[in-house]
A = this chain, B = another copy of it.
Amino acid sequence: MNRDDLAALDSADPLALLRELFTLPEGMVYLDGNSLGALPRATAQRLHDVVTREWGEGLIGSWNTSDWISLPRRVGDKIARLVGAGPGEVVVADSTSVNLYKVLAAALSVAAEDAPDRRLVVSERSNFPTDLYVAGRLCAERGYELVAVDAPADIEALLPGAAVLMLTQVGYRTGRLHDMTAVTRQAHDHGVLTVWDLCHSAGALPVDLTAAGADYAVGCGYKYLNGGPGSPAYLWVRPGLADRFEQPISGWMGHAAPFEMSPDYRPAEGIGRYLSGTPSVLGIAALECGVDTLLAADEHGGLEAVRAKSLALTRLLADLVEQRLPGVFTVESPRADDERGSQVSLSCPEGAFAVVQALIARGVIGDFRAGGEEGPDILRFGVTPLYTRYVDVWDAVEQLSQVMESGEWREERFATRGAVT
């Protein structure tokens, strides 16, 4: 297999034309959409319109005339289509951290009522840190214990005493994919509620919260949803639980009638009560443009086609690394398709940070994640089927080979860490 073979795959790719929906820097191979999605072409113009016409000219009246007030629900309905939820079941609000706090608090309130003797919240040590931090503090406040296991296999033994199982569907380090349906069934068999973080799965593969019977979910807007840096997040709750939702941050936007300005809180029915403060109009408008790029895939095979291409790209990347750089890197991501998200993580005995920097200097953008107790330092390469081409994977591995063969990664300029690494 050579580069021409891959160019032929790109030519035959039914998703290829979706790349035109994005602005990508000339000559860059961007493999970090799992950290920050690329800029949709529509976003700059949409934001300009929101700023100059809706805000600048419409001013306060735009809450009605431009229907700003519906943005959290309207864009929530679009995201619902990506995660197997129904209309009216998802709202856009706050950050993933804040939303995780809300849904976990809600889950603990339900568990306290239904199973007061269960005092554990179970998660994984490899979960994204913010999930563990938020859960740890909230558990302490509510008299629960957070137990973060080392491996998925350790979860089952804890379920009999657990109130909530909180997992990220695709792990941020290695991209390991949980079988949401099987894990949820297992949890429910033990009477345990499930909280799913979809940050690294929604938009990269089909997610079906309803079919899985999941209980609560959150996700971010700035990775595969292409909403931009610090984009607002979203949350979902199984409709049957929505009215038992104890919203801990009971702000006015979750009120049944916020503009009555009553001093007494009366929560909105269902998902509406998950809102807290005034929604970020700029942020949600940008997020809508990002979500629209995914919905545009509907006419080209939808998320099933996205998933098929994602698996082909990650398989290709891992294969090429093993073929061209044998013994240099270890593929830390699962090789089995049904266990892998949309990224390939590599480790190497030394210099993972510097190797990533040297690669970035050559126009191939991956990222570095520090190891520690959770495992080795890693180089991460995310693929985003809407704009990643087969030839991009080839070019990335070609550049990686040159970085390693030249030894340039040892240059001092690649050792400097920024504030965000």
Task: Give the residue of B127, B129, B248, B255 whose beta carbon is less than 8 angstroms from that of A129.
Answer: B255
Cβ of B283 and Cβ of A137 under 8 Å apart? no
Q: How many copies does the complex hold?
A: 2
Q: What residues of chain B lie closer than 8 Å to A252, measured between beta carbons?
A: 97, 128-130, 133
In the assembled complex, A35 has its CB within 8 A of some CB on chain B: yes
In the assembled complex, A251 has its CB within 8 A of some CB on chain B: yes
In the assembled complex, A183 has its CB within 8 A of some CB on chain B: no
Cβ of B134 and Cβ of A250 under 8 Å apart? yes
User: How many residues of A sit at the interface, in one of the four size bands?
Assistant: 35 or more
In the assembled complex, A419 has its CB within 8 A of some CB on chain B: yes
Contact segment of A46-54, A174-182, A190-198, A337-345: A46-54
Cβ of B69 and Cβ of A263 under 8 Å apart? no
Task: Give the residue of B39, B231, B263 whose beta carbon is less than 8 angstroms from that of A132.
Answer: B263
Cα-based distance from A70 to B185 in the complex (angstroms): 43
Cα-based distance from A88 to B191 in the complex (angstroms): 47
Known: A98-B249, A369-B261, A372-B260. A229 touches B68 (CB 8 A): yes
In the assembled complex, A160 has its CB within 8 A of some CB on chain B: no
Least CB distance from A148 to B in Å reads: 6
Cβ of B250 and Cβ of A281 under 8 Å apart? no
Name the residue of chain B whose CB is nearest to the CB of A369: B261
Cα-based distance from A262 to B375 in the complex (angstroms): 11
Known: A44-B51, A228-B51, A230-B283. A265 touches B64 (CB 8 A): no
Cα-based distance from A304 to B391 in the complex (angstroms): 62
In the assembled complex, A269 has its CB within 8 A of some CB on chain B: no
Q: What residues of chain B lie closer than 8 Å to A56, measured between beta carbons?
A: 23, 25, 38-39, 44
Name the residue of chain B whose CB is nearest to the CB of A373: B263
In the assembled complex, A386 has its CB within 8 A of some CB on chain B: no
Cβ of A52 and Cβ of B64 under 8 Å apart? no
Q: What residues of chain B lie closer than 8 Å to A141, measured between beta carbons?
A: 248
Query: Could you mark each residue 57-70 of chain A with 1 if its beta carbon is under 8 Å from any beta carbon of chain B, else 0?
Result: 10111111101111
